[in-house]
Structure 1
Amino acid sequence: MALLFSLILAICTGPGSLGSLSRVRLVGGDHRCKGRVEVLQGSEWGTVCDDGWDMNDVAVVCRELGCGAAKKTTSGTLFGPVAPKDQKVLIQMVGCSGMEESLSQCEGEDVFNCLHNEDAGAECELPESVRLAGGPTRCQGRVEVKFQGDWSSVCKAGWRFAAAKVVCRHLGCGRAILTQKSCNKATQGQGAIWLRKPLCSGQEVSLEDCPSEVWEHNCTHNEDVWVECEDPFKLRLADGNNGCEGRLEVLHKGEWGTVCDDNWRQEADQVVCRQLGCGAPRSLPVPKRFGRGVGRIWLDEVSCSGKEQSLEQCSHRLWGYHNCDHREDVAVVCEEK
């Protein structure tokens, strides 16, 4: 009877315009272009049901947010903290062509049978507006910002550690651990020097969100800003016979922790083996072969296509959010090169 009522309600309601929506945002991801989809209707933020949710819808969300190309559609439950029980699921059966400028121009329905375990998620490319150049990894280097298509370095004299925190967050790196002048000539820039001073609180999602002021300076490239963030995806395989087999552990906030095997597939093994410079993955071992980890479980619900160059490019729940114990620690065996 309940199913019949739902079908009748769906037929009576039918698809309509989502013109009542005024804003969209992505919540819980490691940067502003990735997360659980939430929409503003009136004065209320609510989630979107994943019934009918596809890459056309993600493309519109990415465009509306000023992000890069749509990368994937994911479950919103991967991004924590989870939506509170009293938050509404506002729309379902979103039907975008992919060409709309905003989600409000797409068709959709009011929700009649969706719960938060069906929240929609989205991942877009993060537009390249800031980078760390000249360093050993993408999370260490000289700060450069992009303006009108050109990259400019930033002067240390107008820089604060709060801005370094924002850069690390924007890039999806770990916490900021150092900001200083570029150490030597090999790490200094050669082009323009940014003429605006960012006034960040340290809580902003990206450097673009920080207020700034025009700043007349007399800096040289000897004063270029250098920032170091934690690399959020430093990996190791522990308690194996070599560096290409063992219990998977990742470094976060200076502490090694394990990865839960929920949703773990052979494609993720391929990414780990590639990132560690090992050969192809072998058949999945019994986790007890390498023992159980201790301490933190850092990642859960990791999902890879197998083409990623690093585990950081795979979707996963927010750091530290899981429903696992160490009996579920991931183990990986790769061929030695």
Structure 2
Amino acid sequence: SLSVSSTKLIECSTNSFSPESVRLVDGAGLCSGRVEVKSNQSWASVCEADFDRQDAEVVCRDVGCGAPAALQGGLYGEGEGQTWDKEFQCKGNESLLLDCDTSDRENNTCLPGNAVGLTCSEPDDVRLVEGGSRCAGGVEWYDQGEWRIVGADWNKENVAAVVCRQLGCGSTVSVPPGNTTRGIGVFCSGSESSLRECSRSYYLRPGLTVICSGNNKIHKMAKSRWTLGGTSRSNNGSDAKW
């Protein structure tokens, strides 16, 4: 029989964050909304004065979205809970908000209308390759650190519709026969906003090729406008500083 000769008590340090430490609420989708953090099992809004571009980069990464596109106080309401009482000091390269340092807020008040609202870009996890434009070609999905071929068979028109929608490329023009390669099987109803909402299988299906009605060769985020504190400026390099 197994005998235990000693018992060791281990005291673990705890963080005021939970594993689900941040969320965006009351926005248009998963990638926009009022920034709230979890403290002592309740959610708290973040004051605009305690939040900057580096913090926004980490939050967008933490919630699984692309780079921050707009940051503005009061954009998505105030919320009904408390206000977070710390100032974030992220460097911008952290993977999770809970990895960032915090400090006590310099001012104890957060004026109404200053709960920070954040809009992140949709993650660029789908692309069309070797088709002559960003709106035509073989479908690839960024998964587990690498680009993988997407495959579909009987429901390929539904998958194609989702791909065109996600890329901002209009509607499907045609779904020509795929190449000889095979890829991850993806199954969509056709109404999803992105492939992330579809089901998938690692059983291989014929590689999917899609031609969408759009022919924009410039990514849509290149024409976005950055917004901070109610002012906006074009994202044209040096002018897009926060």
Same fold, TM-score > 0.5, yes or no: yes
User: Does the 8 Å contact 2:188/2:199 carry over to 1?
Assistant: yes
1:19 and 2:17 matched: yes
Residue of structure 2 aligned with 1:53, choices 51, 54, 58: 51
5+ residue gaps in structure 2?
Answer: 1-14, 219-226
2:36 to 24, 36, 39: 39
Aligned equivalent of 1:304, options 207, 230, 234: 234
Q: Is the CA contact (8 Å cut-off) linking 2:34 and 2:118 kept in structure 1?
A: yes
| Percent of matched pairs sharing the same residue | 22
Question: Displacement, 1:231?
Answer: 6.8
Structure 1 residue 136, shift from structure 2 partner? 5.1
Change (3 A) 1:72 1:136: same
Is 1:210 the counterpart of 2:206 in the alignment? no
Which is helix-richer, 1 or 2? 1
Change (3 A) 1:227 1:115: farther
Matching residue's letter, 2:138: R
Match of 2:113 among 110, 113, 116: 116
User: Contact conserved, 1:142 with 1:225, CA < 8 A, in 2?
Assistant: yes
Per-residue Cα deviation, 1:90-136 (whole angstroms, up to 9, x for no partner): 3263223445442234426698423334524254683x431123445
Give the TM-score normalised by the residue count of structure 2.
0.60
- CA deviations 1:285-334 (Å, max 9, x no partner) are xxxxxxxxxxxxxxx975314339xxxxx8xxxxxxxxxxxxxxxxxxxx
Q: Quote the residue 1:177 is aligned against.
A: 171
The answer as to whether partners of 1:26 and 1:37 remain within 8 angstroms in 2 is yes
Q: Does the CA contact (< 8 Å) of 2:160 and 2:210 recur in 1?
A: no
Q: How does 1:1-337 map to 2 (within 5 A)?
A: 19=17, 22-26=20-24, 28=27, 35-39=32-36, 41=38, 47-67=45-65, 70=67, 74-75=71-72, 82-84=75-77, 86-88=79-81, 90-91=83-84, 93-98=87-92, 100-106=94-100, 107=102, 112-121=109-118, 123=120, 126=123, 128-135=124-131, 137-147=133-143, 149-161=146-158, 163-171=159-167, 173=168, 176-178=170-172, 180-182=174-176, 189=179, 192-200=181-189, 202-204=191-193, 206-215=194-203, 217=205, 219=206, 224-228=208-212, 230=214, 303-307=233-237
| Aligned-partner Cα distance in 2 for 1:157–1:305 | 41
Deviation at 1:203, TM superposition (A): 3.6
In structure 1, runs of 5+ residues without a counterpart are 1-16, 235-262, 264-299, 309-313, 315-337
Shift of 1:146: 3.5
Change (3 A) 1:43 1:201: farther
RMSD: 4.4
Using the alignment, how far apart are the partners of 2:192 and 2:122 within structure 1?
21
TM-score by length of 1: 0.46
* Number of matched pairs: 208
Higher strand share: 2
Give the Å deviation of 1:61. Answer: 1.7
